[in-house]
Amino acid sequence: MTVYSPALDTTATRTLDLGPAVELVSKEEGHRQPLAPEFVSAEDFSPLEVAYDFGRVRREDIEAGPRNIWRYKKLLPVPSRVEEIPNTEPGCTRLVRADRLAKALGLRRVWVKDDTGNPTHSFKDRVVAVALAAAREFGFDTLACPSTGNLANAVAAAAARAGWQSVVLIPSSLERAKILTTAVYDGALIAVDGNYDDVNRLATQLAAENEGWAFVNVNVRPYYSEGSKTLAFEVAEQLGWRLPEQIVVPIASGSQLTKVDKGFRELGQLGLVEETPYRVYGAQATGCSPVSTAFRNGHDVVQPVKPDTIARSLAIGNPADGPYVLDTVHRTGGSIEDVTDEEVVAGIRLLARTEGIFTETAGGVTVATAKKLVETGKLDPDAETVLLITGDGLKTLDALEDRIGPKATVPPSADAVREALGG
């Protein structure tokens, strides 16, 4: 255990600096406990969430900050001088006015939040950056996760940049391309003979047994998940410090959707934006739609499912934040829908064709769900709508395989090209 020995400082011997974060609170019964690398309340067994004492936060302070998520450091559980620590500097991705997509969807005004511009081309860079910053403060120096895709890339890249060790667990059957995109960062990529459930169980076991590893989505999850708030902060700032009327968010664990809502609320509470009403909409693939199904049936618990969809980055059959997603959607007056894999591909193609943005399957879910929500009258066509595009099409090329290709194959002659183009 030499290389991976526990490296935790004890909070008794040093002052913890996680900026405005003051304690952890259990989501169900509000039990409070000190900030620590823990994720479940020992009192009521519900998830722990970070509580803050924000003090005064002004737009000018944020605007004067760096062009990445650390401009919002006063709203995150990270050290006060976090921007001085080497990190991948995610965030401040484009908010694109999407008039051609809007027209195709039958909406008046649409904005696409294009998170493919992040360092490893998904929103996971945001949550991992916050996790690493908090984990560093707790004394960790190894970042770990189980993952088959975006999270693996983000963890391995962030650890490399910080000079940390990473431990990424993947099923050994994973496609070669997905192995390469994590292996290149040269951390400890471990292939496990088993399916993704086996890998996940192993990660939970290792997180419990080894204090030296920060499993981003396990023992430091309360900090990690706060990173998703930066999507809300950026949308509001990029709109000129105001909230959109409608936002469509894909659902995997459900954490992102609830944190986007939390981000909007915090901005309102701090007076950084006017507290105008907004509706939050959830998007799932039909092949893994436990939250959408619960919403449709009027349930407040979510029945686990066995995922079967091309939208693998959303394929969490037992979403931890499912009930909180239902709360958020009900409270804001939104809705949840799910779409078939065929619709997902159509969504990817629609966004690419109209706006030149190539999203992974999760983004296809968001676009296709928006289309369905318009068609069923649940999205108001006259209200301004934001779509969260959280990952890159280069990561899920297999979803397009056998579905698209050249318009024509011709001999090398100008006439042949013209003829192929209907000349």
Instruction: Please report whether residue 234 would count as binding a second copy according to CB under 8 A.
Output: no
Instruction: Please report whether residue 156 would count as binding a second copy according to CB under 8 A.
Output: yes
- Name which of 44 and 177 has its Cβ closer to a second copy: 177
Beta bridge partners of 168: 145, 189
Least distance between a second copy and beta carbon 422 (Å): 6
Least distance between a second copy and beta carbon 413 (Å): 7
Q: Applying CB under 8 A, which of residues 7, 8, 42, 421 lies at the interface with a second copy?
A: 421
Measured in whole angstroms, how far is the alpha carbon of residue 190 from the centre of its chain?
23
Beta bridge partners of 189: 168
160-189 residues in contact with a second copy (CB under 8 A) are: 160-163, 167, 169-170, 172, 176-177, 179-181, 183-186, 188-189
Least distance between a second copy and beta carbon 32 (Å): 32
Applying CB under 8 A, which part among 225-233, 260-268, 323-331, 356-364 lies near a second copy? 356-364
Token pair listed for 167: 């431990």
Show the site string, 39-58: x = touches a second copy by CB under 8 A, - = not. --------------------
Token pair listed for 39: 């994720």
Applying CB under 8 A, which part among 25-33, 38-46, 81-89, 272-280 lies near a second copy? 81-89
Distance CA 358, CA 365 (A): 13
Kindly determine how many residues on this chain lie close enough to bind a second copy according to the rule CB under 8 A.
Answer: 89
Do the strands 246-250 and 385-389 form a parallel or antiparallel pair, or are they unpaired? parallel
249-308 residues in contact with a second copy (CB under 8 A) are: none
With beta carbons less than 8 A apart as the criterion, state whether 379 and 281 touch: yes
Residues 6 or more apart whose Cβ sits within 8 Å of residue 39: 47, 48, 218, 219, 220, 221, 222
Distance CA 410, CA 271 (A): 61
Instruction: Please report whether residue 400 would count as binding a second copy according to CB under 8 A.
Output: yes
Dihedral pair phi/psi, residue 68, rounded to 5°: -160, -175
Instruction: Please report whether residue 377 would count as binding a second copy according to CB under 8 A.
Output: no
86-115 residues in contact with a second copy (CB under 8 A) are: 86, 88-89, 92, 94, 96-97, 99-100, 114
Q: Applying CB under 8 A, which of residues 69, 159, 236, 387 lies at the interface with a second copy?
A: 159
Instruction: Please report whether residue 206 would count as binding a second copy according to CB under 8 A.
Output: yes
Residues 6 or more apart whose Cβ sits within 8 Å of residue 211: 6, 8
Reported as type and span, the H/E element at residue 201 is: helix 196-209
